[in-house]
Amino acid sequence: AQKVTQAQTEISVVEKEDVTLDCVYETRDTTYYLFWYKQPPSGELVFLIRRNSFDEQNEISGRYSWNFQKSTSSFNFTITASQVVDSAVYFCALSEVPSNTGKLIFGQGTTLQVKP
């Protein structure tokens, strides 16, 4: 069965520290997509990144970077030099291809608090 696990419920760091958010997924399919979303206090889920299962290249976007490792079924997210504005709940999500649907399976989320 498909599942996404974000073991870290809450993380608190001081501004400018680096922080890594873990995501482990389970799926029987060989083709799938993984996503990260950010949810600020306003409630809206903000799309950060999409990665398909055939692309294991790490990606960097400004202070954000993602490490996708199929061997360990992990898709971790690192924020470098964190800022107070990074404080939010972050969700990792999985979309399976053979199911032919846009359904996203979300992890429980990690609450990140960045203190000044």
Partner 1 sequence: KAGVTQTPRYLIKTRGQQVTLSCSPISGHRSVSWYQQTPGQGLQFLFEYFSETQRNKGNFPGRFSGRQFSNSRSEMNVSTLELGDSALYLCASSLAPLEGKTQYFGPGTRLLVL
User: Which residues of this chain interact with partner 1, rule CB under 8 A?
Assistant: 32-33, 35, 37, 42-47, 50, 52, 91, 95-109
Bridging pattern class, strands 110-115 and 10-14: parallel
Residue 16, Ramachandran bin (φ over 0: left; ψ between -120 and 50: alpha; else beta): left
Beta-carbon neighbour count of residue 58 at 10 Å? 13
CB of 3 to partner 1, least distance (A): 12
Taking the least distance from each CB to partner 1, the nearer of 12 and 99 is 99
For residue 19, report the phi and psi dihedrals to the nearest 5 degrees: -140, 140
* Residue among 54 and 116 whose Cβ is closer to partner 1: 54
In the complex, minimum distance from the CB of residue 81 to partner 1, in angstroms, rounded to a whole number: 27
Distance CA 58, CA 75 (A): 10
Nearer to partner 1, 19 or 94 (CB): 94
Question: Cβ 110 to partner 1, closest distance in Å?
Answer: 12
